[in-house]
Amino acid sequence: MKHINKILLLSFVGLGLLACSQEEAPTTPKVYRPVQYVQVSPQGNILTDTFSGVIEADLDAQLSFRVGGTITKRHVEVGDEVVSGALLVELDNTDLQVAYQQAGASLRQAEANERNQQTNYNRVIELYENNNSSKSDLDAARAGAESAKAATAVARKQLEAARLQLSYAQLKAPQDCSIADILADTNESVSPGQGVVRINCGACAKVKVSVPDQLISNINKGDDVLVSSSAFSDQKFKAKVTEVGVAADSGGAFPVEALLQGECPNLRSGMSANVLFNFSRPSADGSKQQLVVPYMSLGEDELGNFVFVLQPQQNGIYKAERRSVEFIAGNNDNGVEIISGLQVGDLVATAGVRRLLDGMEVKLLDKPILGNN
């Protein structure tokens, strides 16, 4: 019995000590992840982006003959300036000249036959009026005169066609141009449609660039842009957007053309060039300001691009809220322009976005990395 009492006494003592140890154990405070943040505010920087392209003449075309033949004369050299209608290249036109002469002979023969038939018709009319000819003779004479007249009209058209064919043996400048390249030379045989001379025409050159799909909606005809070229590294030239593509090319980007304005510099077709676009849009008060966040604040998953907006809770604790956003990536020094999803004053996490979860509670570092707190 004494042993049992001792065991019970020791058990009560152990339980008492355990209870005391549990009461004395301090509670572990909850740890919150500290995050850097930025307060969204309007930025005064104008969002721009630059795209590389190639300078082209206002008209850059390859001229070709409408008829085939052998080149007999070339009247121009590369770099020559020519006026509208100037003769550039000639083909051997011997066969075409013969065809033209034959068509002329056929026309003269048809005209002679028409005169004879008309004379015969007039004679039969007089005989018919004096009852010296039958009605059938009159009808036959009239048919002969009308047929001869129609044959003359056909022969005249054939002569005009032969004259055009003969003129096609001469290649002329469509307007004031410069000769960019010679594609076929004397004594070479060319076929209809084969390029013979490449010309550059127009008062001013144009620049063609490709713009990605997320930016093409911000470009419109008439927009002012700036053009630079490595050939004139210290100069920028004003240009105006003249064409905006409505269908993407093979690379998924959209073609955009800008025409140089004012006094055109000595920029030549084929030179590389950069075109500076301004993608800023007026805010509600008409000022050119954007909501800009740092690149590192953006995340991306299967649902699209997002940021974590920090919503205030109690005791300085914030909850991370996933917010889908749309943005334009450009050459803004502070980051990317947000076009939807954020408002002025929102607090956005800027570091460790991949380690945050929607609804996670966090603490803010003392100061934002950008903007005003």
CA distance 46 to 288: 7
pLDDT value at residue 27: 60
Which SS3 state, helix, strand or coil, does residue 15 take?
Answer: helix
pLDDT value of position 253: 84
Residue 232 has pLDDT above 60, yes or no: yes
Model confidence at 284: pLDDT above 50: no
The CATH code of the domain at 49-57+203-278 is 2.40.30.170
Task: Work out the burial of residue 13: count CB atoms within 10 Å of its CB; fewer than 13 is exposed, 13-18 middle, 19 or more buried.
Answer: exposed
For the chain, which residues make up each domain, given as ranges?
A: 33-45+285-364, 49-57+203-278, 64-92+170-200, 94-167
Cα distance between residue 299 and residue 101, in whole Å: 79
Q: What pLDDT is recorded for position 370?
A: 47
The CATH code for residues 94-167 is: 1.10.287
| Interval 191-197 mean pLDDT | 93
Task: List pLDDT tens digits, range 127-159.
Answer: 888 888 888 988 999 999 999 999 999 999 999
Q: What is the mean pLDDT of the chain?
A: 81
What is the signed CA dihedral for 242, 248, 253, 256, rounded to 10 degrees?
Answer: -10
pLDDT of 35 over the 50 cut:
yes
Which long-range contacts (C-beta less than 8 Å, at least 24 apart) are formed by 115-122? 116/148, 117/141, 117/144, 117/145, 117/147, 117/148, 117/149, 118/145, 118/148, 118/149, 120/144, 120/145, 121/145
Do residues 177 and 59 touch, judged by C-beta distance below 8 A? yes
pLDDT per residue as tens digits for the range 87-132: 999 999 999 999 999 999 999 999 999 999 999 999 999 888 888 8
Which residues fall within 8 angstroms of residue 138, CB to CB, at 6 or more apart?
Answer: 124, 125, 128
Does 171 score more than 90 pLDDT?
Answer: yes
CATH 1.10.1740.10 corresponds to the domain 33-45+285-364? no
- State both tokens at 320: 């991370």
- With beta carbons less than 8 A apart as the criterion, state whether 103 and 111 touch: no
Both tokens of residue 323? Answer: 């917010």
Topology of the domain comprising 64-92+170-200: OB fold (Dihydrolipoamide Acetyltransferase, E2P) (2.40.50)
* 3-class secondary-structure state, position 86: coil
Grade residue 286 by pLDDT with cuts at 50, 70 and 90: very low
Summary count for the chain: helices (H), strands (E): 4, 25
Please tell me whether residue 300 adopts helix, strand or coil conformation: strand
Q: Could you say which DSSP state residue 295 is in?
A: G
